[in-house]
């Protein structure tokens, strides 16, 4: 790959890598999965180099795909975001627990929309769905999360 | 939903590790990422080149045919659509057992008779970016669809695939959506579509020979559906337009097909939220759309609604029944060319682990019992009805 492509990818990592890592953490509920998925996505992007026209979107989609595959393979959801050495508010822990109640597609849609601030059409492109389906996913996820989070707040 | 958004952003306080050193020394596990240009793309490109060459030859030797280097006339004035009969229903089929390189199931483009017979695969194994609105030309001879960034067109039988648009940065970001939601002008000369440029979506128009692609309106933050009006004067856009970066609830915007100006905005009817798809009645008097009732119970379903084109006389046409143990969703309405029926996707979550699998159904435009058209293995979605000459 060219030096320019590598420099551009490092810029993408410095600008959005942390947010991507947190998004995948919310999706997977597991620090190790988040780190593996993000590192794998960027490593693949490095290998593909100049083939990738829009590295930022590409690594976002790939990281979620990798995480989804890891979760499927491991058949587990740890869901314990707090880890020794990390300070996490109970409200974030509650959110991650509530997210576990959603289907993977709903979870990905709601994280990409409400955390990564992606519009519905882009979420549809990222998760391989239609805008209508994403809208309904978001609606249901919102309703479900509201109920679950209110229960926990009580 | 600011509260939920702010709740999510509390996660910003979680310290993230610096993975860059791991990234640069890591040996990638394998090709899990989205395919960039799979072999089928090469085949499609070769077919497109061959078809283009053949088309140019034919045009060069046939008198009276338009040369491809001539400017495509822009649609002017109202177009009076002729009565049409109902042809095939094109739809996108996702088989959950066929998984693409990118971990999402592969999607195929199918056509089927409205009675459910004669299902036929037109284009296969197009990867997970295939899901989008499919649009028939008004003479029913060609189909516009999106795949891997650009819009493509092909004959009704799936032959002669050509690439219509060129999706390149910085105008178009293929990896994040590219060109989507094609809609044919009623006079058959142009295709309208949405283009994602990396930060927001724009409404574009291109000649059917690929000539003169141009942005028609760049005020939109998000576009989730495009539908050219049957009289050709306006293009309906479902999405959100406005300054700033915030994206509000979807609305239906009517954009003048010549000037690109937004001439009317329809908010969702009271108590409803647009889900994202709409369809004109052939006489342009009514709009069918999918929506859900905000503030309802979790079990409340999304359904297909019909209203007059001015936003009045809203009525629920069909909503998937729920027994409380599962949810289902009616979405993606597509009016039949003769105006008597509406095809739609009924998503039945209990059929798939993903929670969103379903089939194509048809219902009379004035209501009644929906009739099943397809029984696919996963999700059959996004129907588009082929117009045929009446009589």
pLDDT beyond 80 at B232? yes
The 3-state DSSP class for residue A110 equals helix
pLDDT beyond 90 at B3? no
- Using CA coordinates, name the residue in chain A closest to B195: A121
pLDDT beyond 70 at B54? no
Q: What is the pLDDT of residue B333?
A: 95
Please name the residue that has the structure tokens 């799936």. Answer: B158
Percent of chain A with pLDDT over 90: 21
Spatial separation of the C-alpha atoms in residues B47 and B38, rounded to whole Å: 15
Sorted by sequence, the CB contacts under 8 Å of residue A75 that are 6+ apart come out as none
For residue B258, give the nearest of B305, B336, B190, B346 by alpha carbon: B190
The encoded tokens of residue B70 equal 């001539």
Sorted by sequence, the CB contacts under 8 Å of residue B249 that are 6+ apart come out as B240, B267, B268, B273, B274
Q: Mean of the pLDDT values across residues B245-266? A: 90
Q: Which neighbouring-strand residues pair with B388?
A: B85
User: What is the DSSP track for B174-236?
Assistant: GGGT-EEEEEE-TTSSEEEEEEE-SS-EEEEEEETTS---EEEE--EEEEEEEEE-TTSSEEE
For residue B95, give the nearest of B84, B105, B83, B110 by alpha carbon: B105
Using the Cβ of B27 and the Cβ atoms of chain A, whether some distance falls under 8 Å is answered with: yes
Sorted by sequence, the CB contacts under 8 Å of residue B381 that are 6+ apart come out as A130, A133, B91, B92, B94, B131, B331, B332, B345, B347, B358, B360
Task: Give contacts of B36 with chain A, Cβ < 8 Å.
Answer: 48, 51-52
Using the Cβ of B39 and the Cβ atoms of chain A, whether some distance falls under 8 Å is answered with: no
Spatial separation of the C-alpha atoms in residues B38 and B178, rounded to whole Å: 17
Using the Cβ of B175 and the Cβ atoms of chain A, whether some distance falls under 8 Å is answered with: yes
Q: What is the pLDDT of residue B300?
A: 54
Give residues 105 to 164 of B whose Cβ lies within 8 Å of A. Answer: 105, 128-129, 131-132
Given A35, A103, A115, which is nearest B11 (Cβ)? A115
Given A10, A18, A122, which is nearest B176 (Cβ)? A122
Degrees to nearest 5, angle at CA B279 with A138 and B342: 100
Q: How confident is the model at residue A124 (pLDDT cuts 50, 70, 90)?
A: confident
Q: How confident is the model at residue B281 (pLDDT cuts 50, 70, 90)?
A: very high
User: What is the DSSP track for B347-358?
Assistant: E-GGG-TTS--E
The sign of the torsion formed by the CA atoms of B164, B169, B174, B177 equals negative
Reported as a single tens digit per residue, the pLDDT across B77-131 is 566 667 889 999 999 887 666 654 445 566 788 999 999 999 999 987 555 445 5
Distance to chain B for A78, nearest Cα, Å: 17
HSE (CB half, 13 Å, CA atoms) of B181?
Answer: 34
pLDDT beyond 50 at B44? no
Given B33, B129, B200, which is nearest A125 (Cβ)? B129
State how far the alpha carbon of B83 is from the alpha carbons of A104, B90, B243, B339, B389, in Å.
Answer: 45, 20, 41, 9, 7
Please name the residue that has the structure tokens 């890591």. Answer: B26
The encoded tokens of residue B20 equal 């860059």
pTM: 0.76
User: What are the phi and psi torsion angles at B236 (to 5°)?
Assistant: -85, 135
Using the Cβ of B246 and the Cβ atoms of chain A, whether some distance falls under 8 Å is answered with: no
Q: Mean of the pLDDT values across residues B264-277? A: 90
Spatial separation of the C-alpha atoms in residues B126 and B324, rounded to whole Å: 36
Given A41, A114, A127, which is nearest B5 (Cβ)? A114
Query: Does the distance separating the beta carbons of B17 and A21 come in below 8 Å?
Result: yes
Spatial separation of the C-alpha atoms in residues B197 and B171, rounded to whole Å: 5
For residue B382, give the nearest of B203, B136, B154 by alpha carbon: B136
Q: For chain B, what is the mean pLDDT?
A: 80
- Using CA coordinates, name the residue in chain B closest to A135: B275
Given B4, B20, B298, which is nearest A147 (Cβ)? B298
In terms of Cβ atoms closer than 10 Å to its own Cβ (0-12, 13-18, 19+), residue B237 is buried
In terms of Cβ atoms closer than 10 Å to its own Cβ (0-12, 13-18, 19+), residue B172 is buried
The residue length of chain A stands at 154
Query: Does the distance separating the beta carbons of A132 and B276 come in below 8 Å?
Result: yes
Q: Mean of the pLDDT values across residues B52-73? A: 38
Spatial separation of the C-alpha atoms in residues B153 and B315, rounded to whole Å: 35
Distance to chain B for A81, nearest Cα, Å: 9
What is the phi-psi region of residue B93: left when phi exceeds 0, alpha when psi lies from -120 to 50, beta otherwise?
Answer: beta
Q: How confident is the model at residue B335 (pLDDT cuts 50, 70, 90)?
A: very high
Q: Mean of the pLDDT values across residues B236-246? A: 85
Within 10 angstroms of residue B82's Cβ, the number of other Cβ atoms is 12
The encoded tokens of residue B123 equal 């284009």
Residue pair A89/B10 in contact (Cβ under 8 Å)? The answer is: yes
């Amino acid at each position: 790959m060219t030096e320019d492509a590598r420099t551009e990818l490092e810029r993408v990592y410095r600008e959005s890598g942390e947010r991507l890592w947190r998004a995948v953490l919310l999706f997977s509920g597991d620090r190790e999965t988040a780190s593996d998925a993000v590192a794998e996505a960027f490593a693949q992007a490095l290998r593909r180099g100049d083939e990738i026209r829009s590295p930022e979107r590409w690594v976002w989609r790939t990281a979620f795909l990798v995480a989804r595959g890891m979760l499927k393979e491991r058949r587990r959801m740890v869901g314990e975001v707090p880890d020794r050495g990390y300070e996490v508010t109970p409200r974030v822990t509650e959110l991650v627990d509530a997210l576990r109640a959603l289907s993977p597609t709903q979870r990905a849609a709601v994280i990409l929309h409400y955390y990564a601030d992606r519009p519905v059409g882009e979420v549809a492109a990222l998760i391989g769905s239609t805008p209508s389906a994403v809208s309904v996913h978001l609606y249901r996820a919102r309703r479900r999360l509201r109920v679950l989070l209110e229960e926990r707040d009580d | 939903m600011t509260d939920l958004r702010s709740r999510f952003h509390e996660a910003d306080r979680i310290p993230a590790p610096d993975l860059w050193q791991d990234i640069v020394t890591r040996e990638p596990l394998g090709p899990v990422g989205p395919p960039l240009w799979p072999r089928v793309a090469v085949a499609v490109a070769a077919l497109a080149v061959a078809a283009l060459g053949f088309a140019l030859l034919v045009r060069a030797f046939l008198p009276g045919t338009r040369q491809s280097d001539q400017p495509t006339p822009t649609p002017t004035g109202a177009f009076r659509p002729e009565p049409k009969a109902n042809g095939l229903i094109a739809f996108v089929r996702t088989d959950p057992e066929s998984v693409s390189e990118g971990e999402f199931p592969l999607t195929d483009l199918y056509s089927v008779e409205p009675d459910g017979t004669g299902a036929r695969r037109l284009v296969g194994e197009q990867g997970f970016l295939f899901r989008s609105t499919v649009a028939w030309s008004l003479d029913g001879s060609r189909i516009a669809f999106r795949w891997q960034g650009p819009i493509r067109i092909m004959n009704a039988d799936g032959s002669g695939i050509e690439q219509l648009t060129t999706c390149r940065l910085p105008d178009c970001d293929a990896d994040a959506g590219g060109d989507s939601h094609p809609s044919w002008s009623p006079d058959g000369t142009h295709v309208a579509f949405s283009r994602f440029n990396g930060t927001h979506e724009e409404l574009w128009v291109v000649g059917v020979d690929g000539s003169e692609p141009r942005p028609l309106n760049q005020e939109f933050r998000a576009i989730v559906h495009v539908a050219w009006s049957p009289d050709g004067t306006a293009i309906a856009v479902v999405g959100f337009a406005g300054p700033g970066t915030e994206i509000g609830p979807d609305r239906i915007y009517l954009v003048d097909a010549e000037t690109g100006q937004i001439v009317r905005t329809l908010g969702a009817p009271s108590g409803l939220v647009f889900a994202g798809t709409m369809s004109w009645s052939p006489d342009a008097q009514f709009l069918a759309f999918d929506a859900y009732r905000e503030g309802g119970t979790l079990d409340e379903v999304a359904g297909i609604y019909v209203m007059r084109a001015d936003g009045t006389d809203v009525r629920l046409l069909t909503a998937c029944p729920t027994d409380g143990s599962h949810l289902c969703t009616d979405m993606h309405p597509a009016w039949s060319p003769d105006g008597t029926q509406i095809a739609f996707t009924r998503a039945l979550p209990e059929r798939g682990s993903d929670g969103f699998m379903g089939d194509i159904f048809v219902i009379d435009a004035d209501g009644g019992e929906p009739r099943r058209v397809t029984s696919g293995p996963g999700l059959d979605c996004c129907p588009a009805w082929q117009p045929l000459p009446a009589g």
